[in-house]
């Protein structure tokens, strides 16, 4: 190998290590920023009124409408479809063992503990997390965030806290709705395919699903709502370079939110099934 080539290899290794180091530091900084944003949001929610700077209720209500009510049609449609799909796959698999009668156990527990919160989280990340990142990113490049600061209005209280409250309230409620719609879709298919009455299916689901299962799912939905908000806000706040930057960070926000949801889901399931 030539002398120039020998010199190039250590340089490339150094550059790769440099890039990895910068990425790692950037990632840690983002986690730190997320923790600060969460702490400040909680601070303003709890102490804002005491400091005569309450979190805006009108904005929080508007965010609730956006996160929850306006998401109902798509959540309903996809949840029913997924419910039917789970029923099809469940019956097909259990028929191999001649145990398709037991499909309601699998459906009830897996939907309430796993698929309801997961599907809702992914839909909210794609729909609301991305719009939150785009909104804050656009506000940043048009100096609206700077305007808030120089007006003496804390941007976290004004922008982040209403979004966080709306997500924490609405994502678990949407999850409950998604659970119900998935179970309804699955029940419809089970009645058609197996000739079981819908009332009998419902009774079996009620017998199988316990409050603990429901709380397991809702706890995950609560965690997902915080993750989606923080990832959206952090990516929006880091927008640079105009409209192209907004697009880039919006995409990054969706990818990171969904990744965070799936990893958190796995860790949560592991921890809560140990005891």
Partner 1 sequence: MSHAAEKRDDRPRPDLSGAPNVIEVKKLVTHYGAREILHKIDFGVREGEIMVIMGGSGSGKSTLLNALLGLLRPTKGSIHILGEDLTQISDVEKTLLRRKIGVAFQGGALFGSLNVLENIMLPLREHTKLDVNTMRIMARLKMQVVSLAGFEHLNPSELSGGMIKRAAFARAVVMDPKILFCDEPSAGLDPIVAAAIDELILNLRDAMGMSVVVVTHELESAFRIADRICVLDKGDILMTGTVDEIRSSTNERIQNLLNRRTETETLDPEEYLKRLTAAND
Which residues, 6+ apart, have CB-to-CB distance to 86 below 8 Å?
A: 107, 110, 111, 115, 182, 186
d(CA 128, CA 131): 5
8 binds partner 1 (CB under 8 A): no
CA distance 175 to 212: 15
Cα end-to-end distance, the chain, whole Å: 59
Q: Which stretch binds partner 1 (CB under 8 A): 15-23, 112-120, 147-155, 209-217?
A: 147-155
CA max distance for the chain: 80
DSSP at 55 = P
Does residue 152 interact with partner 1 by CB under 8 A? Answer: yes
Judged by CB under 8 A, the residue of 146, 207, 210, 212 near partner 1 is: 146
| Contact call for residue 150 and partner 1 (CB under 8 A) | yes
Using CB under 8 A as the binding rule, whether residue 142 contacts partner 1 is answered as yes
173 contact partners, CB below 8 Å, separation of at least 6: 68
* Interface positions, 33-52, toward partner 1 (CB under 8 A): 52
Using the contact rule CB under 8 A, the part of the chain among 76-84, 139-147, 179-187, 234-242 near partner 1 is 139-147
* 207 part of the interface to partner 1, by CB under 8 A: no
- Establish if 23 lies at the interface with partner 1 (CB under 8 A): no
Residue count, binding to partner 1 (CB under 8 A):
15
In the complex, the smallest distance separating the C-beta of residue 144 from partner 1, rounded to whole angstroms, is: 5
Comparing CB distances to partner 1, the nearer of 144 and 265 is 144
53 makes contact with partner 1 (CB under 8 A): yes
Residue from 30, 94, 102, 144 in contact with partner 1 (CB under 8 A): 144
Q: Of 115, 95, 99, which Cα lies nearest the Cα of 107?
A: 115
Minimum separation from the CB atom of position 21 to partner 1 (A)? 17
Q: Where are the alpha helices (DSSP H) in 125-197?
A: 130-141, 144-150, 155, 161-194
- Sign of the C-alpha dihedral, residues 64, 70, 72, 74? negative
Contact 91, 194 (CB under 8 A): yes
* Binding piece for partner 1, criterion CB under 8 A, among 24-32, 93-101, 142-150, 239-247: 142-150
4 contacts partner 1 (rule: CB under 8 A):
no
Specify whether the CB–CB gap between 118 and 261 falls below 8 A: yes
Q: Give the binding range for partner 1 (CB under 8 A) out of 141-149, 180-188, 195-203, 248-256.
A: 141-149
Question: Which residues sit at the interface with partner 1, rule CB under 8 A?
Answer: 52-53, 138-139, 142-144, 146-147, 149-154
């Amino acid at each position: 190998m030539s002398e120039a080539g020998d010199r190039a290899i250590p340089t490339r290794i150094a550059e790769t290590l440099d890039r990895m180091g910068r990425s790692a530091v950037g990632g840690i900084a983002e986690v730190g920023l997320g923790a600060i944003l969460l702490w400040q949001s909680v601070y303003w929610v709890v102490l804002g009124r005491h400091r005569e700077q309450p979190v805006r209720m009108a904005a929080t209500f508007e965010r609730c409408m956006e996160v929850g009510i306006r998401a109902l049609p798509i959540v309903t449609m996809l949840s029913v479809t997924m419910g039917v799909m789970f029923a099809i796959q469940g019956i097909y698999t259990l028929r191999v063992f001649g145990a398709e009668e037991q499909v309601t156990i699998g459906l009830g527990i897996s939907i309430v503990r796993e698929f309801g919160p997961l599907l809702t989280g992914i839909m909210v990340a794609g729909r609301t997390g991305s719009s939150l990142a785009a909104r804050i990113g656009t506000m940043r490049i048009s100096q609206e965030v700077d305007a808030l600061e120089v007006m003496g209005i804390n941007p976290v209280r004004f922008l982040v806290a209403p979004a966080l409250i709306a997500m924490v309230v609405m994502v678990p409620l949407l999850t409950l709705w998604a659970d119900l719609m998935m179970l309804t879709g699955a029940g419809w298919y089970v009645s058609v395919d197996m000739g079981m009455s819908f009332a009998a299916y419902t009774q079996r689901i009620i017998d199988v699903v316990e409050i603990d299962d429901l709380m397991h799912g809702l706890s995950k939905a609560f965690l997902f709502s915080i993750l989606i908000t923080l990832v959206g806000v952090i990516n929006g706040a880091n927008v640079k370079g105009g409209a192209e930057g907004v697009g880039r960070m919006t995409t990054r926000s969706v990818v990171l939110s969904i990744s965070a949801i799936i990893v958190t889901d796995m860790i949560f399931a592991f921890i809560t099934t140990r005891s």
